[in-house]
Amino acid sequence: MTGLRVFQATLLIAVLALFAAPAAAQSQPGGPNDIAVEIFSDRQQSADDGSVRMTVALRFTPRSDEWHGYWSNPGDAGLGMQVEWSWPEEWFGEARYPLPKRLVIADLMNHVYEGEYAVLYPVTIPADAALDDLGPLEATVDYLACTDVICVPRTAQVRLTPERMNASLDRWRADVVPPLGSEAGFEVVRDRLRIGIPLPAASDLGDVHVFLATNDLGSGKRPRYAAIQTFLREDDLLVAEIPLQDTPLADETGAPDRVEGILDLGNGRGVSFTATPSDVPLEGVKPIRSAATPELWQLLLAALAGGLLLNIMPCVFPILSLKALALAKAGGEQASARSDALAYTAGVVLACAGLGLLILALRSAGEQVGWAFQLQEPVVLVGLFLLALTITANFLGLFDLPGLAVSGHGPSRSGSFATGLLAAFVATPCTGPFMALALGAALVIPPLDGLLVFIALGMGLALPFLLIGFIPALRRRLPKPGPWMERFRRWMALPMGLTALALGWLLWRVGGGEYLAQVGVVGIFAALGLALVGLLQRRGRSGAGIVAVVLVAVLALGTALLPAPQAQANSTESLLDPVAFSETALAEARASGRPVFVWFTADWCVTCKVNESVAIERESTRAAFEDAGVVAIRADWTRRDEEISRILTRQGAAGVPLYLWYEPGADAEQLPQVLTPDLLARKARPPR
């Protein structure tokens, strides 16, 4: 037991002791027989070496169904049993427990036993032992007896009397979890414990769960017992991934040389295991699905639909529309149109697949990242700001960018490929209703399947232009070329300019006014450089390309040399007066017995801001929350936050927005990602 665990246990016993006596005096919620303890043994048997072997059982019997006891590792709360024997300690083998149950109260998981249970100890009495000098076996048992509302520390003095010897322990032996028989392996990957358990492929698995007996995993890390465990399987190997957390004040010990626990196979079955350090492979393993988990084809379809919806976003729509009009104006053969569409599609799919591959690789290394995670990095925001500024300047005719301008030239495969890369990258701040399901699952299913989901997302984003390129009837339905197209292109500078302004606002939110001013200087230099490029292009000078390359190099260097922002701006005011998210704040809010609404947002998330305007920041919502006593909590993910990332992962969400509703005493209910104006008011005031 680490120093922290000793301190926690001592503090818990001290606090409970203050209330134990008053509690017993008040209507007797607890008493000496909250959970009664008795001791039994089976018949002694002689071994070949002259020693005597027996099994001792400690039976725990609650006085009623409301009382429960604890496993050796009680979980987030509680206290494991401690036994002091009157016979030498070395005679007693390791305690053997039955399969515990999970009890979650206010996001704290306890490993408990409900009803009667027994703990067995194998005993080996040496051949030269003088039992007559020791007397009968006695034990002092310290344990915790709890209900959902009160815990009482107890101490029982038990003696093995003749009438309790030679008892039949068969029914208790049947309840004890058997050993696996094969050694498992484990490794700690940043904030996750990965255990590879050899298990026959024919084993029937129900609601699987790992109960860890090892609490200290080195470097101050301990299991997050209430977090969602991930299970993957390939042939005779079951891989369990358990989230870890850093524990303040914990002893900085090294990694353990073994990890022990119980694998709950579901339906009251389990096996105990011991794992030693080793590489736990993830190649080829497949997730264990519940009946409610979508199949891969469903995830691919959802990703395709989500990518399709991205085309109507203000930062993507101008690029798509101008590419389509450029293709219509250029005319040409069907083969040329198809080639252009395929190049655009290749750029989009490659960008989405590359981003997905990066996310999956980072998560495999233990990083808590999700969709659009790159927008949490200031340097990426600066790059996007300059990119949006460049596209706006192009739409205004300040300079010519092949593949984007409506120039009347033939389709350009290289320009279309670059445009596809661009469209996919500027679309990353957005997460739609279909994308939430697909991308959330993509982060927990096998990496190859997850990569296919990201590719399907890219195919959905590229689909409109792909159809225009391959179906002549669609191209014929586009407006006829004319001078209006140049005016249309200039009008498309408006949404792109607004996108640049939004990114500038986001830079201010991330780093404050001084940081925005520094980026603004870089932006002014970029605009002057683009104007020079355009001037050289219009005069037919050959140096335009060289100037453009130098400008890109200088801008990249300037962006890289920008000082990192020192602090994030404070969250904006809200009608709901929300509490800033932390796991402690959420636990306290849920323990208050009031409804809790948690919304996960980011300043770069378009859908988040629309939902806040439409449904959250409304006077009717504020009034309904006030009447119902709802606790509002805002989780701002504009900059990286490990706590927010962990709960997004536990909820199966790839990113924001995410909206959780907690009724008193109930688990989280995920609300739709697109909120209607009266949804939250109706949740706070359900129909009677």
DSSP 334-372: HHHHHHHHHHHHHHHHHHHHHHHHHHHHHHHTT----TT
pLDDT above 90 as % of the chain: 22
Q: Could you tell me the pLDDT band of residue 32, with boundaries at 50, 70 and 90?
A: low
pLDDT value of position 687: 54
The SS3 assignment for 610 reads helix
Given a cut of 60, is residue 277 above it in pLDDT? Answer: yes
Which range (411-415, 452-456, 640-644) has the least confidence?
411-415
What is the predicted pLDDT for the residue at 113? 94
Q: Residue 159 pLDDT > 80, yes or no?
A: yes
Specify the higher pLDDT residue, 495 or 178. Answer: 178
Contact 404, 391 (CB under 8 A): yes
* pLDDT greater at residue 254 or residue 287: 254
Place of tokens 């200031």: 378
Which residue did the predictor score with more confidence, 324 or 71? 71
Band (pLDDT 50/70/90 cuts) for residue 568 is low
Burial per residue of 191-212, b for 16 or more beta-carbon CB atoms within 10 angstroms, e otherwise: bbbbbbbebeeeeebeebbbbb
- Range with the lowest mean pLDDT among 42-51, 168-177, 332-341, 670-679? 332-341
pLDDT at 13: 38
Task: State residue 329's pLDDT score.
Answer: 58
The pLDDT value given to residue 207: 81
Residue 195 has pLDDT above 90, yes or no: yes
pLDDT at 437: 57
Q: Is the pLDDT of residue 23 over 80?
A: no
Q: Which range, of 96-105, 257-266, 448-457, averages the lowest pLDDT?
A: 448-457
What is the per-residue pLDDT for 65? 87
Beta-sheet pairing, 151-159 with 138-146: antiparallel
For residue 79, the number of C-alpha atoms closer than 13 Å in the C-beta half-sphere is 25
More confident residue, 567 or 594: 594
pLDDT of residue 281: 73
Q: How far apart are CA 620 and CA 636, in angstroms?
A: 23
What is the per-residue pLDDT for 324? 67
Does the pLDDT of residue 354 top 80, yes or no?
yes
Q: For all residues of the chain together, what is the average pLDDT?
A: 79
In the chain, ranges of CATH 2.60.40.1250 domains: 3-175
Under the banding of pLDDT at 50, 70 and 90, the label for residue 91 is: very high
- What pLDDT, on the 0 to 100 scale, is given for residue 151? 86
Confidence of residue 358 (pLDDT cuts 50, 70, 90): confident
Classified by CATH at the fold level, domain 184-287 comes out as Immunoglobulin-like (2.60.40)
Looking at the predicted structure, is the pLDDT value of residue 240 above 70? yes
Least confident of 265-279, 476-490, 502-516: 476-490
Where along the chain do the CATH 3.40.30.10 domains lie?
Answer: 579-684
| Inter-CA distances, 408 with 34, 206, 327, 329, 392, Å | 87, 63, 9, 6, 19
**Sequence-distant (≥ 6) Cβ neighbours of residue 315 within 8 angstroms:** 388, 426, 427, 429, 495, 496, 499
- Average pLDDT over every residue of 21-36: 48
Q: What integer is the mean pLDDT of 649-667?
A: 78
What's residue 96's pLDDT? 94
Closest by CA to 186, choosing from 124, 240, 229, is: 240
| Confidence band of 24 (pLDDT split at 50, 70, 90) | very low
Q: Which CATH superfamily is domain 579-684 in?
A: Glutaredoxin (3.40.30.10)
**Burial call 294-322: b when 16+ CB within 10 Å, e when fewer:** eebeebbbbbbbbbbebbebbbbbbbbbb
- How do strand 35-41 and strand 45-46 relate by DSSP bridges? unpaired
pLDDT for residue 4: 40
Tell me: pLDDT of 10 over 50.
Answer: no
pTM: predicted TM-score of the whole model, two decimal places: 0.49
Q: Predicted confidence band at 12 (pLDDT cuts at 50, 70, 90)? A: very low
**pLDDT surpassing 90 at residue 120:** yes
**Per-residue pLDDT for 219 more than 70?**
yes
Q: Indicate if the pLDDT at residue 403 is higher than 60.
A: no
Instruction: For residue 43, name the pLDDT band (cuts at 50, 70, 90).
Output: confident
> Model confidence at 25, in pLDDT bands (50, 70, 90)?
very low
Antiparallel, parallel or unpaired: β 237-246 and 230-234: antiparallel
Instruction: Name the range with the highest mean pLDDT among 81-95, 177-191, 283-297, 354-368.
Output: 81-95
Query: What's the rounded mean pLDDT across residues 414-441?
Result: 67
Write out the CATH class of domain 3-175: mainly beta
pLDDT for res 294:
62
Residue 209 reports pLDDT greater than 60: yes
Which pLDDT score, from 0 to 100, does residue 352 have?
Answer: 86
